[in-house]
Structure 1
Amino acid sequence: MIGRKAELGRLVRVLDEAAGGLAGVALVGGDAGIGKTRLIRELIERARRRDFVVLVGQCAELGDALPYLPLTDALRGAAGEPGGPVAVGLAARPVLTRLLPDSDAGPADAATGALAQQRLFGSTLSLLSEVAEQRPVLFVLEDLHWADRSTRDLVVFLTRMLQRERVCLVGTYRTDDLHRRHPLRPVLAELQRLPLVTGVEVPPLADEAMATHLTGLGAGDSHAIDGVVRRAGGNPFFAEELFAATAGSERLPGTLADVLMARVEGLSDTAQQVLRVAAVAGRRVDHEVLRAAAGLADGPLEEALREIVSRGLLAVGRQIGYEFRHALLQEAVYDDLLPGERTRLHLTFAGLLTERGGSAAELAHHYSAAHDLRGALTASVEAGRRAIELGAPAEAHQHFDRALADWAHVPDAEQLTGTDRVRLTLDSAAAAADSGDYHRAISQLKRLRQLVGTAELVAEINERLAYYQADADETAGMLEAAHTAVAALADEGESPLLARALATYARTLWINERPQEASATAVRALEVARRTGAVDAETAALVSLALIEEVTGAAERAEELLFGAAAQTSANLSINLRARFNHARVQYERGNLAAAGKSAEEGVRLARETGLTWSIYGTDLRFLQYLVHYVDGDWTTAETLANGFGVRVGTIAEAVLSSFALFVEVGQGRPAAVERLRWLEPFWSQDELVVYMARGLAAEQAMWQGDPATAWTHAQAVIDTLKPFDAGLIRIAATGLGALAELAADPHVGAEQLRVLRQRADDTLALGRYAAANGMSGARGELGPEGRGWAARAEAEWHRVHGTATPEVWRAAVEGFSFGFCYEDARSRWRLAEILLETGDREAAQAEWAIATEIAGRLRAAPLGQVLAELGRRARFSIDAGGDERAPDERNVLASLTGREREVLALVTAGKSNREIGERLFISQKTASVHVSNILAKLGAATRTEAAAIAYREGLAQSSG
């Protein structure tokens, strides 16, 4: 490697880190011909010598015509090694196998569009992770400047999701091709600011290095070499071509195209003809296709190819075919074709690929270049349908739009495509929405609804318009569109379309804060769906109705409805996961942690089995599973689940997911929380949930750091963001009141400052009380146990601000969190211990302090442990001394147990084995064993029988039976 030591060194360092268990990404940029491919080839050789699994995929100038082309290319090469780790992994992932030519992966799954894309992304990540467990992986994607939108999205996804996998991801791109509006530009800008990403810019070779390089190529006098060095501008490929073109000649061609064509013109006429045909095929061409397109007999063709290969213009490809030595050469030959020649050859290739079953995307490309509108229309529609199946909605939208542009010029378009213009526009809009381009989808449907008159089409178009507007939070005209969809079917009788329109109308009514109308509409949608067998609409209506029932006060009824929704087997996987998430969420909010954990685990399993771990509801289910374990005190499992919640975030969805991990990180006082909050800060102005999660926990962290003023600033910002009836206000009000209490307790605070603080406390408590009492529709129904716990905490913190706190108000907070929220139970006991000391009840204070200390130690909640230790030092508490000073307080024997441990103890008392306990509570036998050991230690029991006797004595067995 001449003159590239520094660049190669940076790439090797990324490779080393990947081998050591820290995933890395390298983006290699440089002008065409500057030596990127040679650099990557050297990296690949080094990786292979170190037993890396190497995957190499190349983008083509066809661009968006062929979605996932480099991934397909890489997998096709790996699939050719039967028994290899990639081939084995592919066999278990039909969604990836389906990308390969001649795949026998079976029919496409029910998931299409965005869901199919999420499944494909998740499957790619899991494949790389699985292979990396056996051997480290180098995954190279070349020429990303030609990548399709879905491939670019995949690169972004992998860059953000790869963490500790032994994977090195490398992408190359041409800097001279990146014009101001090039779609790769924002992707590079987004990725290159991430610490995981190493940017490698390949500069021009220095003159001395270039001269050394040319000398090594072969004979040549110093005068000729000096001339080439001066003209080449540091570009190795340009220099090599100049050097070859001037061999035996004094003439120095001018432009790079001239240089390249000078090489071509040195070929025989037949060889030039073959090379021109190959250039129309693209960077690579299959031998049999080339043979048929060139129209030559085997003898002349092989002689021409031998001449071309010997001159280094084509190389024998990895498959049965040939590839141009460099993309610039293919471009130069293609650009030199006459217009008529180009059109004729594209049409020839289109005909050949049609006969041989070529991909619809390639056919669309060739027919379009050949100006054959009928062929282009048919192929574009088929390519769009194929892209939808593969999970490439952006490319599908592009194909459908191209077909719509040609539609008016093809008289028999409907017969050719098997669809009509309205249906094709609906498909195009759906693809746009699936790719995240809601603006385009909405704009297409708004134009389309002015062109149709039949009731069914009016209903369908307006229903989809309202649905996409709801997804895009574009409320203007949304309710009117949804109402129009329902009204259009008023005289048409019941149908699945009516059920779907009603379900969407109910959703839009709910978004517009009209719960009574939303409820009535959802009930009607449910009835129509059941009578017409519209399972998707039925599930959607059940979920909508349950959400309404939950907010209007019938939480038990909401759980019943969601149980029914979760039990449905809808073809729409997104609706299935949405139902399961909401079912688990309602169980959690009703305080049934065990049931919520089971439901969340089942939902996560469904998401994993269907490849939708990274879909919206797949992600929500994983967070809910994390939250259950955070609340029930199993922080070890919660921490394991949070390993996939990336710190370095770049999108709102990633920011939401990342903010969840703050619960344990702040609770344990980890430095990682500081970095996570720094990455989340830019999103505080962009998303309400990120503000609530991240700034709410930033307030908690500031409190532990002794900075209540900053804590109040964060809490106030969250309060200003939430709606008055949002139940989240209860928690943030309690947090803010805690900060105000600390400010009020400062001995240096003046009388006027204290008055202001107490007024703020009054206002904040009023907000919390209003949210606790009022939902969207007015009076709030049953407040869940966690809500009651935070409401009690807010009241107690308000009393701290005013200096009127009593043990009773803090006992109410402890009782509020007694449903199993270990951490908040311990924090409330800390404050209760403080106030008991102030009132002189030392014995009761020590009992509360001991329980809180035990929980803090078990959770490794360092900040809480530190303040408890300080309280213990001031009060001269000792856990051991407490045991010596008095007989055990029988009332508190079971108080140190978590909610989950109480469940385990009840089953121990019933005589269940660890295996049976695990099956009953949906935990592993090992986890059950750990719980039993912890219970014995806390109760001071030597055996399970002794622990059972204590449980009987305290009434646990009877109450749980």
Structure 2
Amino acid sequence: MLGAVETRSVSPVFVGRAGELTALTEALSRAAAGEPQALLLGGEAGVGKTRLVEEFTARARAAGAVVALGGCVEIGADGLPFAPFSTALRALRRELPEEFAAAAAGQEGELARLLPELGDPTGHEPAAEEATARLFELTVRLLEGLAADRTVALVLEDLHWADTSTRHLLAYLFRTLAHGRITVVATYRADDIHRRHPLRPLLAELDRLRSVRRIELARFTRAEVHRQLTGILAAEPDPALLDQVFERSDGNAFFVEELVASHESGCAATALSDSLRDLLLVRVEALPEAAQRVVRIAAEGGSTVEFDLLAAVSGLPEDTLIEALRLAVGANILLAAPEGDGYRFRHSLVREAVSDDLLPGERSRLHRRYAEALEADPALVRADERATRLATYWYHARDAARALPAVLRASVEARKRYAYAEQLRLLERAMELWDEVPDAVRAALRPLDYAESYPACSRDPETPLRHLDLLAEAAFAARLSGERERALKIGRTALRILDSDEEHDPLRAAWFYVERARLQSNLARGDGWAEIARAQELVRGLPPSAVHAVVLGIAAGWGMLRNPGPGAFADAERAVEYARLVKAEATELSALGTLGSLMTAAGDPDAGLAQLHEVRRRTLALGQFHEASRTYVNISSGLEGLGRSREAVDIATDGIASARAHGLVDSAGWVRANLAESLYSLGEWDRAQEECELLLRGGAADTKPGGTALLLLARLAVERGDPGTAAGRLAESSARYGSRDPIPQYTLPTAHVALQIAAAEGRLADVRTGLAAAAEAGFPPGTHRYGWPLVLTAVTAEADARGLPAADAGRAAALDLIRRCVRSLAAPAPVWQAYAHQVSAELARAEDRATAERWAEVVAAFEPLDRPYELARARHRHADALLAEGGRREEAAALLHAAHTTAVRLGAQPLREDVELLAARARLAPLSAAPDAPRQPEPEEGDAFGLTPREQDVLRLVAAGRTNRQIAEELFISPKTASVHVSNILAKLGVAGRGEAAALAHRLRLLDAPA
């Protein structure tokens, strides 16, 4: 009977799915042409996903592709971290040993977290928040390397069981995979994805990616069920049987097979129970008792169970076990695993039905036997699965005393693999078990064995592990896995315990407050200073400790960003001192990096930069790549702050290469943002824009580097004559930065761009309001690089608007405020001294006392510097002053020609128009010609914008603030005619409103008498 079932239950004919198979094979073809493909394949349990994947992989192999399959593993309620990727990488290593070794060269220690066969994981940095992203980047790069010269089909099955780390890695892969001949297909059981299923948000996120295609498998139609039955029976099915099977299966391919198997074994399809579980158990119950026993044991062992483990748990003689397995395989209930010597259920629905049919006591007894067998012989399972499986077995065996140590050991293994989400779940399970465990068991646990993430745990290795240690480790894992709300909740629980007299421990409390400060900042709920200050109070007066050093280092870092001054400097020095005393090298290097940045900004740049370079050298040598990337960020930023933009570009370029080499994508984003800023300063605007767009395409739009990129794009837009686009970019940037934690390096540049947009649109009142707000917040030490451009924009707007009646009322107060800002700004480098000269010259222009000599000093200050845009602006103003003084026309022409060349190269349209108009008004040679070409005669009527004399009269009245009716009365025309003139003027000037027209008229001196 079982032989008949074996030959007839599965159709040898592939039925339906032509469109879906075509989509998969076409994706493989596009991948073979060098365009990576990503597909999601969903469908209810039993609908035929596995059969479709088998057909696709067979065709892929026939086409010469390398196929790697990996399946998510269900063990209790927890999946193994990265299980499908580990299995797939193992298959790729087996298929392409030499190519795999070459692609993984130099990163074996990191990739061992996914594939333990590569060696012991190295370079574990407990404090490195980018550790997981680094592992993900290296994994993507490995896959791209393997698929560089060959087509690879990577199939990841059963995502509905995927652990959190697997889901995160898959999302990262789908977002960033850009090179290689690779097709990634991921399958999931759609009917399991309920509203709160953890896969649901991932599917929604991936749906938004244009690079990901989603395929949903529908049930079979009646015609397709007919074809399936024909294939199974190798004959035309009886019409009555077809009707019964189609009605009962509702087109589910797996149910069709089960119904046919029942019919073939002598059971009438119409007599089957209405229960799905009963249907799935029919074939199991037809097996002999020994085979049924083996199937029940296998159902509790996990998705795949090794033969030796089955033998140990079942206690059956080897021959009896083999015979039982042969019968189960022959009945299409179990299958031999694709690799190794294990067995798995042909369909997970059958395993679930068998498991559900067990009695509660029977289930826990089986788990105990699995755990005892595995403890007696750990070699029964693969080493990378051992800890997780043992923890699961003991937990479901309901033996808290044995489960707690096993769960804690599994949490350590998850931490080593950067599977922080799984570590958190295991730690939460440990806390659940904590009170159920006898005191003697807890007393035998040691912090150094199970908790390493915060320094307070390592003070005394003989102190038993405490509940607070688990809370600290869980809070840390929650933050690193992105569950910040959960981390905050855990921290609040710990601090409530520490507030009690029995658990008073200032060092532990200080650590939790520091963690809370990080979370407050990350969640944009504040700047975290209150928590840092509380931590400082708690450690004050205590002997030097690792926690003390961490608190001081965090306080110094906070001050470096928000209030750089003596306090931050002192905290950084003490953090270095304390870290050296307790030999906390990672904390020491972090504090040294902060100290070097503070020194650079505070007027000792040579010493500060030298220290940063030394920290970079040491961190790279120690493998602390996250901290090394931080030094690249700080060095390039420090150099830019000193006006040494060319050096900043070089170090930023090296920093991006280093960050990418070590998989630090987020760090690369910070360095790239600095690179774009320095390229902008150097006048390489197109390259700066490319770097910003690359940064945003790389997924940084929701991060602070993404905010910086958007802000720089806004600045480029306004300086290229598109204030509307600039305003949109500015709004996006501000949303990235948030408003709960004002940091000068973000708020001052944001205020500057807002002033630029307001000035371009003729909104002088908004310029004044924005400057006043920035001045009230102040210009802390080291922020001169942001303050000078902001003040220059404000004073230039005042100078451009001189003579406007609406601007005269507040001019004196505005200029006084500008002078106060100037007195608070340092000028520690030649570039900022040049800015100081330019601000002074614009102040003079705003008060009608500008001279050519003063502007000549500004030009001379900028000429040795690599600041082409600022130099072009200064040359324009110098030429304007020369022409206003009535002489040296040849010199003015040369200045305007040089300024025009720069403006054209940069695409700085407003500056170009200003220069061209000044040349036209002065009747100089066209700027496209040589600077010494003869001047052209001025048109008899109109100006460079084509304004007629009547339109110039109207423009004067618009600039004086007159309404259309007032203009009509003064010029003796109708209001309608006045309105037509105003509309023509706005169109010719290319402005959006009357205020902008008035500002432009005064800035370009359109209403002055010709020179």
> Into which bin does the TM-score normalised by the smaller protein fall?
0.7 to 0.9
| CA 639–439 in structure 1, closer or farther in 2 if over 3 Å, else same | same
| CA 451–845 in structure 1, closer or farther in 2 if over 3 Å, else same | same
* Cα shift readout 1:472-494 (whole Å, capped 9, x = no counterpart): 32788955654555555555533
SS at match of 1:501: helix
Does residue 585 (structure 1) correspond to residue 650 (structure 2)? The answer is: no
| Aligned twin of 2:267 | 249
TM-score (norm 2): 0.74
TM-score (norm 1): 0.78
Shift of 1:159: 2.8
Structure 2 Cα separation of the partners of residues 651 and 49 of structure 1: 43
Shift of 1:462: 0.9
Structure 1's unaligned 5+ residue stretches are 746-750, 775-779, 887-961
1:631 to 681, 684, 688: 681
Structure 2 Cα separation of the partners of residues 605 and 11 of structure 1: 35
Query: Contact 1:97–1:103 (CA<8 Å) still a contact in 2?
Result: no
2:426 to 395, 399, 403: 399
| Aligned twin of 2:506 | 458
Does residue 324 (structure 1) correspond to residue 339 (structure 2)? The answer is: no
1:312 to 332, 336, 339: 332
Structure 2 Cα separation of the partners of residues 414 and 508 of structure 1: 38
Counterparts of 1:596-675 in structure 2, within 5 Å, are 596-609=648-661, 611-615=662-666, 617-632=667-682, 644-647=694-697, 649=699, 651-652=702-703, 655-656=706-707, 659=710, 662=713
| CA 591–58 in structure 1, closer or farther in 2 if over 3 Å, else same | same
Counterparts of 1:127-526 in structure 2, within 5 Å, are 127-163=142-178, 165-218=180-233, 219=235, 220-247=237-264, 248-252=266-270, 253=272, 254-320=274-340, 321-354=342-375, 355-357=377-379, 358=381, 359-411=386-438, 412-419=440-447, 420-421=465-466, 422-451=468-497, 457-470=505-518, 472-473=520-521, 482=532, 485-486=535-536, 492-507=542-557, 513=563, 515-526=565-576
| Aligned twin of 1:877 | 926
Shift of 1:7: 3.6
Structure 1 Cα separation of the partners of residues 557 and 318 of structure 2: 66
Query: Contact 1:89–1:130 (CA<8 Å) still a contact in 2?
Result: yes
Shift of 1:145: 2.1
Structure 2 Cα separation of the partners of residues 633 and 511 of structure 1: 27
Structure 2 Cα separation of the partners of residues 197 and 736 of structure 1: 47
Structure 1 Cα separation of the partners of residues 814 and 855 of structure 2: 18
Shift of 1:195: 2.2
| CA 724–404 in structure 1, closer or farther in 2 if over 3 Å, else same | same
Shift of 1:506: 3.9
Structure 1 Cα separation of the partners of residues 205 and 849 of structure 2: 52
SS at match of 2:472: helix
Structure 2 Cα separation of the partners of residues 11 and 797 of structure 1: 65
Question: RMSD in angstroms over aligned alpha carbons?
Answer: 4.6
| Aligned twin of 1:83 | 97
| Aligned twin of 1:39 | 52
Residue type of the alignment partner of 2:190: T
| CA 185–49 in structure 1, closer or farther in 2 if over 3 Å, else same | same
| CA 562–301 in structure 1, closer or farther in 2 if over 3 Å, else same | same
SS at match of 2:117: coil
Query: Contact 1:836–1:842 (CA<8 Å) still a contact in 2?
Result: yes
Structure 2's unaligned 5+ residue stretches are 1-13, 448-464, 936-1011
Query: Contact 1:663–1:697 (CA<8 Å) still a contact in 2?
Result: no
Query: Contact 1:712–1:739 (CA<8 Å) still a contact in 2?
Result: no
Structure 1 Cα separation of the partners of residues 564 and 930 of structure 2: 61
Shift of 1:106: 3.0
What percentage of aligned pairs have identical amino acids? Answer: 30
Structure 1 Cα separation of the partners of residues 85 and 721 of structure 2: 38
Structure 2 Cα separation of the partners of residues 806 and 64 of structure 1: 77
Q: 866-875 or 370-379, which moves further after superposition?
A: 866-875
Structure 1 Cα separation of the partners of residues 653 and 370 of structure 2: 52
Shift of 1:792: 6.4
Structure 2 Cα separation of the partners of residues 483 and 110 of structure 1: 30
SS at match of 1:55: strand
Query: Contact 2:896–2:915 (CA<8 Å) still a contact in 1?
Result: no
Shift of 1:75: 0.8
Structure 2 Cα separation of the partners of residues 781 and 193 of structure 1: 47
Structure 2 Cα separation of the partners of residues 708 and 437 of structure 1: 44
Shift of 1:590: 0.5
Shift of 1:799: 8.3
Q: 472-481 or 323-332, which moves further after superposition?
A: 472-481
SS at match of 1:383: helix
Query: Contact 1:28–1:200 (CA<8 Å) still a contact in 2?
Result: yes
Structure 2 Cα separation of the partners of residues 583 and 395 of structure 1: 36
Query: Contact 2:546–2:578 (CA<8 Å) still a contact in 1?
Result: yes
Structure 2 Cα separation of the partners of residues 642 and 717 of structure 1: 26
SS at match of 1:249: coil
Query: Contact 2:592–2:612 (CA<8 Å) still a contact in 1?
Result: yes
| CA 203–104 in structure 1, closer or farther in 2 if over 3 Å, else same | closer
1:848 to 869, 872, 895: 895
Query: Contact 1:788–1:816 (CA<8 Å) still a contact in 2?
Result: no
Structure 2 Cα separation of the partners of residues 712 and 84 of structure 1: 68
| CA 824–171 in structure 1, closer or farther in 2 if over 3 Å, else same | farther
Counterparts of 1:550-565 in structure 2, within 5 Å, are 555=605, 558-565=608-615
Shift of 1:187: 2.2
* Cα shift readout 1:742-761 (whole Å, capped 9, x = no counterpart): 9x69xxxxx9xx54567799
| CA 768–256 in structure 1, closer or farther in 2 if over 3 Å, else same | farther
Counterparts of 1:896-907 in structure 2, within 5 Å, are none
Query: Contact 1:438–1:469 (CA<8 Å) still a contact in 2?
Result: no
SS at match of 1:685: helix
SS at match of 2:129: helix
| CA 542–290 in structure 1, closer or farther in 2 if over 3 Å, else same | same
Query: Contact 2:299–2:354 (CA<8 Å) still a contact in 1?
Result: yes
| CA 852–386 in structure 1, closer or farther in 2 if over 3 Å, else same | farther
Query: Contact 1:695–1:714 (CA<8 Å) still a contact in 2?
Result: no
| CA 337–64 in structure 1, closer or farther in 2 if over 3 Å, else same | closer
1:56 to 47, 53, 69: 69
SS at match of 1:56: strand
Query: Contact 1:445–1:461 (CA<8 Å) still a contact in 2?
Result: no
Structure 2 Cα separation of the partners of residues 769 and 49 of structure 1: 77
* Cα shift readout 1:576-634 (whole Å, capped 9, x = no counterpart): 4323421331122102234434443454454344x24214x343123323443443356
Structure 2 Cα separation of the partners of residues 491 and 255 of structure 1: 70
| CA 104–546 in structure 1, closer or farther in 2 if over 3 Å, else same | closer
Structure 1 Cα separation of the partners of residues 181 and 843 of structure 2: 51
| Aligned twin of 2:85 | 71
2:43 to 19, 27, 30: 30
SS at match of 2:230: helix
Structure 2 Cα separation of the partners of residues 584 and 553 of structure 1: 16
* Cα shift readout 1:506-557 (whole Å, capped 9, x = no counterpart): 4456677484433333333333334454433333333444455555555555
Structure 2 Cα separation of the partners of residues 773 and 691 of structure 1: 22
